[in-house]
A and B are shown apart, each in its own frame.
Chain A
């Protein structure tokens, strides 16, 4: 059903181009291959990630949207819900059965009526409000909880790097 996946991804791309959500740009890296997208996410205002522009890659499975894509930041990141290699770990990227992180049962899950837009909006919320219960990056979770000032300093450094400003 890669044909259905392609049709759906084209529809989503069109939708995102016509009505782009604030602070988010996303689309296929190369229009020959709709199964790999790049996204640029602006750090939410009023948070330690404000002003940053964070690039990420989304890779879609052949049975999308039955299964969710995978998402990975391609810039340096330091965040409780992002693995050190950039992979994003939030509930909307998981089907309900895939529960290694023990998300709250009320958390939003992947289903075929979710979309790239909803994932990216969830990632923006995640940047604004880390979930320190899910330890994709335990050091970051601990620092977020116990040494917020230090966390904010690291975040600020990352923000400057994404903008190419010397740190």
Chain B
């Protein structure tokens, strides 16, 4: 077949310079610089390390003072569009380490999640590898008795691109599954005339797509957990804005949001 193709007369085979491809190449270069300089998930750093990023910005500096009254540490994630899912997935497992009962309860939720996705119409072979990786990671961590060893292992796993990205994908799929399962509820939050399924295919399932409120709410529901998001921007006021998601819940995970990016916070 290939031979047949090569014998075809082509009228125009000279590759023309393509602006679109140049733009994409430049985008790839920027992404590469980010991935070379920032780990997927960083070490815990003192909250005051944020000052270095805003040395000439009084609005942010004042908000960091406010933030430091409530939180001691920050763990940065790579700004690659997956930061919410990576931070959330990491922090969710981290909070379970050293708590065998809670870990076991979550393990059971995760274990049955693939069947739910298949029931919702995901093709089994597209979901399987991500599910298997997710469960393999949970199993590996479950079997480590010493808490510090488990925390170290979690950190290593989340900085191995292959594992880390598969953890992100699976959480994206669980979030998509949650949105589609409760589509009547979530459809009110989707702008335009997109269906919930369209929204999931375009905004949730693809890698590097940034997350909004709706992703977080559905992600929390999928993992049966609660998140507090601290919003820090150049808005008026000395304090950061806080949101517990879902509203009125007792959050176990704390995330710092700065326009376009999520990191993990620790009290």
Distance between Cα atoms of A108 and B11 in the complex (Å): 31
A 89-130 binary contact with B (CB < 8 Å = 1; else 0): 000000111101100011011111111000000000000000
Docked pose: A110 CA to B1 CA in angstroms: 27
Among B8, B15, B20, B173, which residue has the most Cβ atoms of chain A within 10 A?
A: B8
Q: A4-B166, A106-B198 are in contact. Are A11 and B128 (CB under 8 A)?
A: yes
**B206:A109 contact, CB within 8 angstroms:** yes
B residues bordering A, Cβ < 8 Å? 1-2, 4-6, 8-13, 15, 19-21, 23-24, 27, 81, 122-123, 125-130, 133, 161-162, 165-166, 169, 173, 194, 198, 201-203, 205-209
A17 proximity list for chain B (CB < 8 A): none
User: Contacts of A7 on B, CB cut-off 8 Å?
Assistant: 129
- Chain B contact residues, majority secondary structure: helix
Cβ of B60 to closest chain A Cβ, rounded Å:
27
Main secondary structure of the interface of A (DSSP, over half): loop
CB distance from B5 to the nearest CB of A (A): 3
Known: A8-B129, A11-B128, A109-B202. 18 other contacts (CB 8 A): A4-B162, A4-B166, A12-B125, A15-B125, A55-B2, A84-B11, A85-B10, A85-B13, A96-B202, A96-B203, A96-B206, A97-B81, A98-B27, A100-B21, A100-B24, A110-B206, A111-B201, A114-B126
Contact A1/B194 with A55-B4, A100-B20 known, Cβ cut-off 8 Å: no
Kindly list chain B residues whose C-beta atoms are within 8 Å of the C-beta of A76: 8-11
Bound-state CA distance A58–B262 (Å) is: 36
Contact across chains for B5 and A55 when beta carbons are under 8 A apart: yes
Can you list 5 A-B pairs, Cβ within 8 angstroms, ordered by A?
A29-B2, A38-B1, A76-B9, A112-B126, A113-B122
- CB contact between A75 and one of B4, B24, B123 (< 8 Å): that residue: B4
Indicate if A161 sits at the interface (CB-CB under 8 A).
Answer: yes
- B99 CB → nearest A CB, Å: 30
Q: Which residue of B lies closest to A8 (CB)?
A: B129
A111 cross-chain contacts in B, Cβ below 8 A: 201, 205-207
Flag if A40 contacts B166 (CB, 8 Å): no
**CB < 8 Å neighbour of B208 from A65, A96, A162:** A96
Q: Given A4-B162, A7-B129, A97-B81, do A113 and B1 touch, yes or no (CB 8 Å)?
A: no
In the complex, whether A47 has a CB less than 8 A from a CB of chain B is: no
CB distance from A57 to the nearest CB of B (A): 7
10 A-B pairs with the lowest CB-CB distances in the bound complex, closest first: A74-B5, A100-B20, A1-B162, A111-B205, A111-B206, A76-B8, A113-B126, A84-B12, A55-B1, A11-B125
**A97–B208 CB distance below 8 A:** yes
Chain A positions 14 through 29: 1 when the CB is less than 8 Å from some CB of chain B, otherwise 0: 0100000000000001
CB distance from B117 to the nearest CB of A (A): 9
Interface contact B198-A40, CB-CB below 8 Å: no
Question: Bound complex: CA of A98 vs CA of B23, how far in Å?
Answer: 9
Interface residues as binary, A62-79 with B (CB distance below 8 Å gives 1, 0 otherwise): 010111000001111000
- Chain A: CB-nearest residue to B169: A112
Within the assembled complex, what's the spacing in Å between the Cα atoms of A7 and B130? 12
Give the residue of A38, A84, A85, A161 whose beta carbon is less than 8 angstroms from that of B2: A38
B19 surroundings in chain A (CB, below 8 A): 100
State A105–B199 Cα separation when bound (angstroms).
10
Q: How far is the CA of A22 from the CA of B196 in the complex (A)?
A: 29
A95 and B208 form a contact (CB under 8 A): yes
Chain A residue at minimum C-beta to C-beta distance from B204:
A111
